[in-house]
Structure 1
Amino acid sequence: MTTPPHMSAPDAAQPPRITDSHCHLDFSDFDGQQAEIIARAHAAGVTRMVTICTKLPQEPKVRAIAEAHDSVFYAAGIHPMSVADHAPTTVEDLIALAQHPKFVGLGETGLDYHYTAESAQAQQDSLRIHCAAAAETGLPLIIHSRDADDDMARILAEEHANAPYSCVMHCFSSSAELGRAALDLGFYLSMSGIAAFPRSTELREIFAAAPVDRILVETDSPYLAPPPHRGKRNEPAYTAHTARVGAELFGLDYAAFAARTQANFDRLFWKAAQWQAPA
């Protein structure tokens, strides 16, 4: 197993420690390279990564990556764009998966009407199942939302009123209205490389208006590489570039912002925070 820097004593020479709260280490872009990619992340100060399973048949592969690396945790669910192509899951199925010690979140799930609006009702049904599993397990829901703001805000609020749960709006790039609705429910917003793109001024304003104790950082790698790597394959090490943009938005130095996002991650992904590598 690889041993992340956060398992050892602090070293003033190490970069500030941050967590990539959302990546896809099982994707073919990374085949056979996970160990070196994780090592580069550690060198950049990214001491933990949550790799996300988007299709439940892939769960064993995603789980195996988390089991092989101390610094990698995982989550699983059915991506909204995959709902029409896969058998629906159940609350009981998701609860069973959540028993694994390195399974730390439910999803990603959500709504995507940009590419798959024809499956809107099936997506909504799947989202509600994931919400119920999050409420039952106490693990955070990981939400993908695109071109579905009104339905997303309504369903998240309805399900939260029915049975409270915690949640992160992953790779948040939706409207200010959806951002406020999520924050009002006590949820978190996650900054991806999109927030670092030069033309993302309005998105940066949404993040800057949010409480700093509700902000996470992520790569969504292999997608959405921030500058100076835009247009290339993204990887967890590049979380640091997005986090530096976040620090500027909140008027903090990088170390202080990194520490805030670490505390936020620990609060939301409590199972990852409590996990200890076997002796």
Structure 2
Amino acid sequence: MSIPQITDSHCHLDFPDFEGQLDQIIANAAENGVTRMVTICTRLRNIPQVQAIAEAHAPVFFAGGTHPMSAAEEPLATVDELVALAEHPKFVGIGESGLDYHYTAESAQVQKDSLRIHIEAARQTGLPLIIHARAADEDMARILSEEHAKGAYSCVMHCYCSGPELAKTCVDLGFYLSMSGIATFPKSQEVRDIFAAAPIDRILVETDAPYLAPPPFRGKRNEPAYTMHTAKVGAEVFGMDYADFAAQTQANFDRLFSKVTAYEAAA
């Protein structure tokens, strides 16, 4: 019997945690039905390394942007710079960008400026915006809504663990919520409740590897193979059979990351 296929919509395969092990990591993923993954570049100067990983491994696609916690240390990205990246056939998303006031509240203004640049690049390329949000729900809801009113764009709220109000704003804008290992932790019932209230056709799954490993690997290095453990909890949250939930998240990913499906169709 074949394992249902799923996609790790957000991981960081260029991090030192995976150095020299990518062939094994991708093989492990395939054994668990994780047949595609999007590796995220968090500092634009690292694009060459991230791009090389995507080029060397058929199941891997990549996205790039300036992480909000790095926004004050890195040169401010330009719209043109981000748009140019989209010329690569395996570059499939803008970000991760966003706001993080938990660790880096002192750089709030540069984070906001950076976020609006990334939104404009998402608008111009038609690629989904990938958002990191922490302890910034009000500003995040306001900026996403203001910008959407200026011109539509698509978006995924990666590793969603903010409040129910921001989730509702995002769903109302047509955005997607991605479920990470956080949703599997025993103390995360509030996060599970937020997902349960969201439309099933807006849910993605991810690892954020090497971080946030779900049980039974909690506290260890996360890897794309473990997306399956989060997806199994997701199926429980929505009261669905695992195969049906997996198929639904695949359809959702294909709709949002349409460049991936176009690439696969052409391959």
Question: TM-score normalised by the shorter chain: which range applies?
Answer: over 0.9
Q: Which amino acid aligns with 1:134?
A: A
Q: 2:126 aligns with which of 135, 138, 153?
A: 138
TM-score normalised by structure 1 residue count = 0.95
Indicate the SS of the match to 2:117: helix
Hey, what does 1:27 align to over in structure 2? 15
Q: What is the deviation of 1:278?
A: 7.5
- Which residues of 2 match residues 3-82 of structure 1 at below 5 A? 13-82=1-70
* 2: CA distance, partners of 1:32 / 1:107: 25
* 2: CA distance, partners of 1:53 / 1:207: 26
- Which residues of 2 match residues 224-263 of structure 1 at below 5 A? 224-263=212-251
Any conservation in 2 of the 1:70–1:277 contact (CA below 8 Å)? no
* 1: CA distance, partners of 2:93 / 2:44: 14
Q: 2:168 aligns with which of 172, 180, 192?
A: 180
Hey, what does 2:94 align to over in structure 1? 106
Q: What is the deviation of 1:14?
A: 2.2
- Which residues of 2 match residues 171-210 of structure 1 at below 5 A? 171-210=159-198
Hey, what does 2:143 align to over in structure 1? 155
Indicate the SS of the match to 1:128: helix
2:262 counterpart of 1:274:
yes
TM-score normalised by structure 2 residue count = 0.99
* 1: CA distance, partners of 2:143 / 2:96: 16
Superposed CA deviations along residues 78-108 of structure 1, whole A, max 9, x for unmatched, are: 0000011111111000000111000000000
Any conservation in 2 of the 1:266–1:273 contact (CA below 8 Å)? yes
* 2: CA distance, partners of 1:237 / 1:69: 15
Indicate the SS of the match to 1:99: coil
* 2: CA distance, partners of 1:131 / 1:31: 31
Indicate the SS of the match to 1:276: helix
Q: What is the deviation of 1:274?
A: 1.1
Q: Which amino acid aligns with 1:85?
A: E
Q: What is the deviation of 1:163?
A: 1.4
Moved over 4 A (4+): none
Hey, what does 2:74 align to over in structure 1? 86
Q: How many residues align?
A: 267
Q: Which amino acid aligns with 1:140?
A: P
Hey, what does 1:220 align to over in structure 2? 208
The runs of 5 or more residues in structure 2 that have no matched partner are none
Q: Which amino acid aligns with 1:246?
A: G
The runs of 5 or more residues in structure 1 that have no matched partner are 1-12
Percent of aligned positions that are identical: 70
Q: Which amino acid aligns with 1:99?
A: E
* 2: CA distance, partners of 1:272 / 1:78: 22
* 2: CA distance, partners of 1:138 / 1:56: 19
- Taking only aligned residues, the RMSD between alpha carbons, in angstroms, comes to 0.9
